[in-house]
Structure formats: structure tokens, C-alpha cells
């Protein structure tokens, strides 16, 4: 079958493409420019000749951006979304708009022009679940991050990490709302990973181009941490190759329909990264 992967030049997405190719699918990736598409074709062609193609979608937030991309595809993995912990120079809308408009626009295009589409997998995040809790708390797919949305509206550009988290929470909400209200010909699954780390397959020519999670990991090596911080909790994580397999499973397994796949390889402290 032919699977569309949006934002195919991203850190996670290249691994998703590779997982799908390994499983025998053909893949169409959306990229923002031809050189990014050519890089990917050169990357995959030797091992999977003729199985990867790309189309250019310059801005996912543009209305009807995906009308052509969805034609003839059987399934979609929507990974494209801005991933930045931006400073007070950026209003929350700079993240929320592309995240939500990109998701809804893609689903609209798939409903109208993707008559073969049976399943759409949304790359969501722990960010769409995490809320402050007193003491230990066990998250499940029933949890929703309303807190970051409220913070983003309250603190605006000063909402820090909550701008990104709100963008993921609102994008995922718009995804499930579309499916329940529009009743399209496809069903949906969300993948909700924590921090993703692992080898880079996408094109990188300098450290300042690193994707956010890899940059955060790099910073742990590049800057000495105060000793007290070494044992501090540093979040949950998953290997990028496992996160990619989650996406491929989410596309293939019928019983995943309607679920939020909250996955993790465990939690880590800064010392774990150093080791």
C-alpha cells in the first residue's frame, strides 16, 4: 500500500518512513523543499529502489495544502508540526496555528480527495497528556492536558513550554473532534510518545540545526550540569526507532482504531544520559 508521511524530513519522520519501507509499503513524503526530498530519495533508493517519492508542501497551515498529496494513498502518518520551545518573542499562535490548521487541513483534504485513505495516524505527544499533579501519578490515554492550554491563553508569549504543549493538546483534540463529528471514510489513531532520542537519519549540517529533543540531549554533554542536578528526573523517553515502529503498528493494526498509544521506554535522570 501507499502511505503518506507528512514532514518526512523531520527527525522522527525519516525513521517512520524507513519502518514503513521495511514492512513493504511504498511511501510518499511531504517536504518543504525539493533538496530535502532529493536527500531522502538518495537515502532510501539504494535499499528500497523506487519505493519512496516526495511532494512539496511548503506550509502545512495553508488551506488545502494537502489536496494533491493525499491522492491515491491508503494511509497517512501526520508527523509535521512545529517543535520549538520558543521564547517570549513568539505568541502561542505561532505554534498552535500550524499544529491545528495543519491537522484539520490534512483531514479535510483526506476526506475530499483521499478516497482510498483507511487510517490516519497523528503524531501527538505526552505534551497532550501532561498536567501538574501532586506526587506520583499514573497517566493513561484518558488524560488530557488542559493546563497548558489555559497557561497559553493566560500568559501568551510568556507561557514558555506550555505554548508547545498547548499546540499538541489542541491539535490532538481537533483530530478526534474531526473524526467524531465528520465521520470520514477513515479512522484514527494517535501516537503519544515522550522525549524521543536516537540516531539521526535526516539531513543535518550543523549543531544549530538539530531538532529540539536531540538538541536538549546534546546540551547535556556540551554543558556541565551542577552536581545536584545529575540525579534529577529528566523525563520519560523512547528510542526514535521504537517510536517509528509504533507509527507503523498504528497504521497496520485494525484494533488500534480510536486509541491514543501512550508509549515509553521508561524514565531517566541526567546521570543516565551521561552514562
Contact string 57-76 vs ligand NDP (x = CB under 6 A): --xxx---------------
In the chain, beta strands by DSSP E: 2-6, 26-31, 52-56, 75-78, 119-123, 187-192, 195-197, 233-239, 260-262, 267-269
CA angle 121, 3, 35 (to 5 degrees): 105
> How many CB atoms are closer than 10 A to CB 67?
17
- Shortest distance (Å) from residue 230 CB to ligand NDP: 21
For position 168 contacting ligand NDP by CB under 6 A, the verdict is: yes
Q: Which is nearer to ligand NDP, 12 or 96 (CB)?
A: 12
Nearest Cα neighbor of 160 from 81, 99, 83, 86 is 86
Q: Which is nearer to ligand NDP, 82 or 92 (CB)?
A: 82
First to last CA, the chain: 41
Q: Which is nearer to ligand NDP, 93 or 116 (CB)?
A: 93
CA distance 275 to 269: 10
Q: Which stretch in 77-85, 104-112, 224-232, 258-266 sits in contact with ligand NDP by CB under 6 A?
A: 77-85
Options 3, 10, 159, 245; binder of ligand NDP; rule CB under 6 A:
10
SS3 content of the chain, % helix, strand, coil (to 5): 45, 15, 40
Q: Which is nearer to ligand NDP, 116 or 203 (CB)?
A: 203
Q: Which is nearer to ligand NDP, 116 or 264 (CB)?
A: 264
For position 9 contacting ligand NDP by CB under 6 A, the verdict is: yes
Query: Which residues, 84 to 113, sit near ligand NDP by CB under 6 A?
Result: 98
Options 37, 75, 82, 198; binder of ligand NDP; rule CB under 6 A:
82
Query: Which residues, 113 to 152, sit near ligand NDP by CB under 6 A?
Result: 123, 125
User: Of all helices (H) and strands (E), which one includes residue 180?
Assistant: helix 161-182
Phi-psi region of 90 (alpha: psi -120 to 50; beta: other; left: phi over 0): beta
Nearest Cα neighbor of 248 from 35, 7, 10, 13 is 13
Options 80, 96, 152, 263; binder of ligand NDP; rule CB under 6 A:
80
Q: Which stretch in 85-93, 135-143, 193-201, 248-256 sits in contact with ligand NDP by CB under 6 A?
A: 193-201
For position 11 contacting ligand NDP by CB under 6 A, the verdict is: yes
CA distance 140 to 142: 5
Options 4, 13, 73, 104; binder of ligand NDP; rule CB under 6 A:
13
Q: Which residues pair with 187 in a beta bridge?
A: 119
Contact indicator for 186, 105 with CB cutoff of 8 Å? no
Q: Which is nearer to ligand NDP, 48 or 175 (CB)?
A: 175
Residues that bind ligand NDP (CB under 6 A): 7, 9-13, 32, 59-61, 79-83, 98, 123, 125, 168, 193, 195-196, 211, 213
Amino acid at each position: 500500500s501507499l502511505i503518506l508521511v507528512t514532514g518526512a524530513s523531520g527527525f522522527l519522520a525519516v525513521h517512520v518512513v524507513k519502518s514503513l519501507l521495511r514492512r513493504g509499503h511504498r511511501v510518499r513524503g511531504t517536504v518543504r523543499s525539493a533538496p530535502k526530498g532529493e536527500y531522502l530519495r538518495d537515502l532510501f533508493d539504494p535499499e528500497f529502489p523506487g519505493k519512496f517519492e516526495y511532494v512539496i508542501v511548503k506550509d502545512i497551515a495553508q488551506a488545502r495544502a494537502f489536496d494533491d498529496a493525499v491522492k491515491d494513498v491508503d494511509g497517512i502518518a501526520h508527523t509535521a508540526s512545529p517543535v520549538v520551545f520558543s521564547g517570549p518573542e513568539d505568541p502561542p499562535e505561532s505554534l498552535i496555528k500550524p499544529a491545528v490548521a495543519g491537522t484539520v487541513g490534512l483531514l479535510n483534504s483526506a476526506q475530499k480527495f483521499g478516497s482510498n485513505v483507511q487510517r490516519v495516524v497523528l503524531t501527538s505527544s505526552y505534551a497532550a497528556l501532561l498536567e501538574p499533579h501532586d506526587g506520583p501519578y499514573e497517566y493513561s490515554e484518558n488524560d488530557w492536558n488542559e493546563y497548558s492550554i489555559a497557561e497559553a491563553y493566560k500568559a501568551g508569549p510568556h507561557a514558555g513550554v506550555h505554548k508547545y504543549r498547548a499546540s499538541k493538546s489542541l491539535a490532538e483534540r481537533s483530530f478526534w473532534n474531526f473524526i467524531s463529528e465528520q465521520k470520514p471514510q477513515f479512522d484514527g489513531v494517535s501516537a503519544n510518545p515522550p522525549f524521543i532520542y536516537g540516531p539521526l537519519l535526516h539531513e543535518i549540517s550543523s549543531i544549530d540545526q538539530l531538532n529540539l529533543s536531540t538538541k536538549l540531549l546534546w546540551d547535556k554533554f556540551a554543558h556541565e550540569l551542577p552536581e545536584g542536578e545529575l540525579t534529577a528526573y529528566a523525563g520519560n523517553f523512547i528510542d526514535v526507532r521504537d517510536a517509528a515502529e509504533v507509527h507503523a503498528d498504528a497504521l497496520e493494526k485494525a484494533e488500534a482504531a480510536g486509541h491514543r498509544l501512550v508509549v515509553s521506554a521508561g524514565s531517566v535522570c541526567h546521570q543516565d544520559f551521561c552514562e
